[in-house]
Amino acid sequence: MNNGIRIRPARNAELPTLARLIENQLPDMMAGRKRPANIEKHLASLIPDKSLILATRGNRLAGLTAVDIDHALILACYLDPETASPETPKQLFKAAEQLALSYGIRKLGCQVKKQVSGFIKSMGYRTGSEAGDSPTPVLEKDLLDGADPELIALIKLQDELGIPADYGIRYRMCLQPEAKTLVPVGRDIFDRDQRLVPAAATAWTRLQTAASGHAIELKLVSAFRGVNYQANLFRRKLEQGQSIDDILKVSAPPGYSEHHSGQAIDVTTPGIKPLEPEFGETKAYRWLRSNAGIYGFKESYPRENRHGIAWEPWHWRYHHRPGL
């Protein structure tokens, strides 16, 4: 529905203004929870998860909501009565639910005042600790109820393999939709055909050509890998007697691998054993650090990354850049 409202994550530059709004006009924004000593710092902690969600109309704020990923909880929902449309709260809740699902959250709670609990219930929030005298009861929604069948099948697959249900939350890893349109990008070092989505394929060709112009040879180790490929990888390792905890130290579970997106590549250079940290000591890696961003590629798991994943200097993901 085109009502002029745009739903998007908050940006760092907007935090001072949002903090003042909450401090001065929304004293109960963090409903039922201890108020942070530094609101702006607290809001900044939500930015990496994209869990501070805004509704805007032009350059005006129409509403916002915040999601506590660790506790699978919508903290609040604010609407500007002059700017918001009747659909804005539904749009904000839908965005919050989609964000939660992307982290593998199956049930999402909502901490609300009793006077608006009827509205929250109208959006499917039924169960939870709503009884008692608390001014901020918690209602809960099963996000898998009516979810996309592919997502439900993926969750069942993860359960079958023994993937912890909180994996996405714990490592701040989002589910990666499997790419539907892929194009060939040549063979990898193991002589296997590799594919990427068209934009990433074009960017990879340009990146590889540019590196060659600096006497650097970049070679593919892996590109697109589907959910079934990743699931079979886990099954083989489990059959070999490896524990799920040990497997997760080196491999993303099916559904969470960036390779599903058709935008991620693993690369190497001659004389280096693939998928080993020694790639980070090469001229090729140093060139990528300085130049890959020009072609839309970003290192996904640098040293001390927020996901707690071991450094992978060989793993790069394409992010859309205008003009490429």
> pLDDT (tens digit, 9 = 90+) per residue, 57-73?
999 999 999 999 999 99
What per-residue confidence (pLDDT) applies to 128?
A: 64
CATH architecture of 178-224+262-318: 2-Layer Sandwich (3.30)
Mean pLDDT of 184-211: 97
% residues pLDDT > 90 (the chain): 78
| Range 8-16 average pLDDT | 96
Domain ranges of the chain: 6-147, 178-224+262-318
Tally of residues, the chain: 324
Alpha helices in the chain (DSSP H): 15-25, 39-44, 88-102, 117-122, 149-161, 167-171, 198-212, 227-239, 244-248, 283-291
Across the range 206-223, mean pLDDT stands at 98
The pLDDT score that the predictor gives to residue 131 is 43
pLDDT at 205 (0 to 100): 97
pLDDT grade for 77, boundaries at 50, 70 and 90: confident
Position 38 scores a pLDDT of 86
pLDDT at 323 over 50: no
| Partners of residue 57 on adjacent β-strands | 60
User: Model confidence at 225, in pLDDT bands (50, 70, 90)?
Assistant: very high
The pLDDT value recorded for residue 322 is 46
Answer whether residue 115 shows pLDDT above 90: no
Any bridge partners for residue 127, and if so which?
140
Each residue's pLDDT tens digit, 158-192? 999 999 999 999 999 999 999 999 999 999 999 99
pLDDT band at 35 (very low <50, low <70, confident <90, very high): low
- The Cα 273–Cα 278 span in angstroms is 8
* Assigned CATH class of 6-147: alpha beta
Kind and range of the H or E element at 60? Answer: strand 60-68
Q: How confident is the model at residue 247 (pLDDT cuts 50, 70, 90)?
A: very high
pLDDT number for residue 136: 63
Residue among 203, 207, 143 at smallest CA distance from 175: 143
> Range with the lowest mean pLDDT among 84-88, 119-123, 157-161, 318-322?
318-322
pLDDT value of position 112: 72
Comparison of pLDDT for 2 and 195, the residue scoring more: 195
Write down the number of H helices and E strands in the chain. Answer: 10, 12
Q: Is the pLDDT of residue 135 over 60?
A: no
Query: Taking the CB of residue 138, how many other CB atoms lie within 10 A of it?
Result: 19
